[in-house]
Structure formats: C-alpha cells, structure tokens
Structure 1
Amino acid sequence: MKIVGRISGDLKELMNTRFDEIADAARAAVRSASEGLQAELRRQTVAAGLGSGLEKAWRLDLYPKISRRRTLRPAGLVYSKATRLHDAFDNGETITARGGKWLAIPLPAAKAAGLDKSPMRDDSRRASPMPAKWSNVVAATSKFGALRFVPIGNGARALLVADGKARGDTLARGGAGRATSIPLFLLVKRVRGRKLLDLAAAAKQAEAQLVANLSNILGR
C-alpha cells in the first residue's frame, strides 16, 4: 500500500517563496497518513489475536528517505514482512501443510503450558534456551517427553497426546500413583482461515486522511 502526496497546479510564484515550507508540510502530511495506516494495520492484527510477530511485521518507509531532501512529491510505503500470512488472514484462505505433513493447533492444555507462543526472551533479556526456529511441538516433547500420535476418524486429523507426568510440571499430574494422558495438539492437513483483517478498509481510511492533510496545506 503506497501513500503518495502530490501538490499540482500553477504554484510557481508560491514555490519560489515558500518551497521549503510547503515541502516540509507535505512530507509531514504523508508521514501522518502513513503512520496512521501502519498503526491501524497493527491494531487489526493485535485485535485478531495474531501475535506480536505479525503485528511488528507491518513496516513503514518514507520517501525521500533523507528528510533534508525536499520535494513536493513525498511518498509513504506501508508494507508487510509476512505478506503470505497477512494476505491469508485478509482473504480467509485455506492454509495447507507443506509436503503432506501436519498443521499443529494447540489445545487448551497446550495453551495453559504456554505452548501456543513462540519462545521469548525473559525480562533479563537472556536468550531463550530453545531456538526460536524450533516448533512448539518440540517444546512440548522437551517438557512432557515423547508425545503419542493418535489418528482420528479417517486419518485426516490426529492428536498429539502427552502421557504420564510432566517432568517438573503439574499440568499432567494425576493423583497419587496415577498417570494422566492429555491431548496437547490437534493435527490437521489443512485449515480454512477466517477473514480477520481488512486491509482495503485501512488503506481507504489512510487515503482519506492524506487528502485531508494535503487540503490543510493548500488552505494555509
């Protein structure tokens, strides 16, 4: 989504006397509209529960990148560093596991154990002992031991189940001398996503803001 500001018309005399002022005001107008668009897309992402990673994947560049290079044609570009995911949640697309493998959906017990989030650093900023590229299923295996694969129905779905007691964790503990089996992940081949983002509406809102900003400049 590219936000472009342009002032046109017979402005020769005005430009000769107020070029720097108008150019700075035009850049500020484009910056304001672009930052508003980025903020709205990040707000939608957070409201949809898609996590801080996809929230921060919305980036912004202003042109010219060097602010002291003045122009009456400034531009702002708001873009995604996770285009495929943002598009999927904007269009409600079907997400399919690669190579005939599985998509792992954390169940309530996995969420209670924090296995629905990517590994994070703690407040001391020390690196997590588990690399971020590791999946949450690997984290569950580290926490609970080997998980048991349980097919469901015709084999299009399955469960990953933790058996017995979790090492150092109370989640899977039964009573005295009892072992507990708890489903942690639902495995599916594909899932149809809901439309959780409205990128077109955000862009339309930003365009309206840009027009208002530029109108204020011309009205001075």
Structure 2
Amino acid sequence: MSKASKGHVADLKELIERFKHERHPYSKKRADLARKLLAYLGVKRIDPEAHRTMKNAWEQIEKKGIAPLVLLNIVHCALDDANNEETRPATKPEGLLLDDVRAKLVALRGSIKRAIDGHALPSGKAWLLEFETVPDEAVVFGFDGMAGRDYGFMAFELAEAIEAGLLVLGLHRDALPVRLEKRKHGKSPAFVRSLDVRLRRLHGLNSPATVAAIANAVGAPGSPWDRAGVIGVTRCGSGKK
C-alpha cells in the first residue's frame, strides 16, 4: 500500500474517533461506512482478492485527490439516492402526488390573495416569532407585502414562500432521475449508478472496478459486484480500470 493510502487509512480511523463524539445524526452512519471501508483493507489473509481490489480502489481514489471525508460523503449520498429510488412510487402515482401538491399550493396562494383583498388578512403587517427550540433566534412572519422592508430579523413571507415552493417543486420534478429498472439477475443498480455518476462528474474518476470495490465494502444492494457488472448497469467506459 502506498504512503498516501496508509495516510487515508489513518485519516479514516481519525474520522471514526471524531464521529464518536458528534451528535449529528449522520455521524454514526458515516462512522459505520468508514469501518466497512477499513475492514476490506484488513482482510488480506481471509480474502486476498477483496483486499487487492480495495487496495487498487484506494490508489485510484488518491490519484484524484479525493479525501476520505469527501469519499464518505459521496458514498453516503449514493446510499441515500439508492434508498430514495427503491422507495419511490410507480411513475403514474408519483406524478399524481406531485400534481396534488402543486394544486394545493396554487389553491392556498389564491386563498391568501382573496383574504388580503377582502381585508381579512393584513398586507405588510409582521409578527415577531421566537422559538424555544432555537434560542436567541427570531423570525419576522407576515402573509404578504413584506418585500423591501428591513425588519432587523430574518423575514418569512408566506405568499413569497408559496411561490418559492412552486418553483422548487417544478425543479424537483424536472430533475427526477429516470426510473431504474431491476436487472434479470435481481441486482438493483441504483447505488452503483449513483456512485459512478458522483465519482465521474464531480471528481473525474471513471473506474468501474473502484465502484465495485466500494459497493462490496459497504454491502450495497446487489453485492457482490464486479467490474463487468458495474459496466453493465452504468455503461461507463469498459476500457477503464
């Protein structure tokens, strides 16, 4: 193992210790991922091939300058992507659910406007709200007409928030990934596809073998994966390592 790889191992161990003392809900999950990645580097006597493929994966990772914490973030996000894909409803019900949300937001926007026009709700009036769960923080809340005014606190306008919600809903729907099909051999490609895309697009690492090694190390759905299996579901370059 190269000096850089040994340094990555030391960094992973340090991250595990750091995660133990953090209260963030993601810390425990990332510590578990780090342990799994380390475990595959320590199975030389038990499974030489698994050890070799993970060692080669780390060499590819370090060539691209991907730090251990960055890699953990990538793997964590890929696992979340896979979970979201597996739990997504079928295409038609998913579209109907999103259309229902949009219709309700549009209806709420119309109700607020009618209430303001009918003077049932004030326009331009604001209320200062404080929350016990967030000490020393406050929010100024209003229904409409708050633009361009300095309230001295973070301002939240309901009408503006609805417009933002409609915009984000449209962006979300447009960005929904193409539904991933289950292969005949029963493997779900969601994790390896997400991991491959993140490594290639964000860090320029096009390596099916590295994707397979990481997927096997963290116990991703469909494991064990190999280089050919990853190429089959990602269509990434077969000439890459």
User: Fold match, TM over 0.5?
Assistant: no
Relative contact order, CA 8 A, sep 6+: which one is greater? 1
Q: TM-score with structure 1 length normalisation?
A: 0.22
Larger relative helix fraction: 2
Q: Which has the higher strand share?
A: 1
TM-score normalised by structure 2 residue count = 0.21
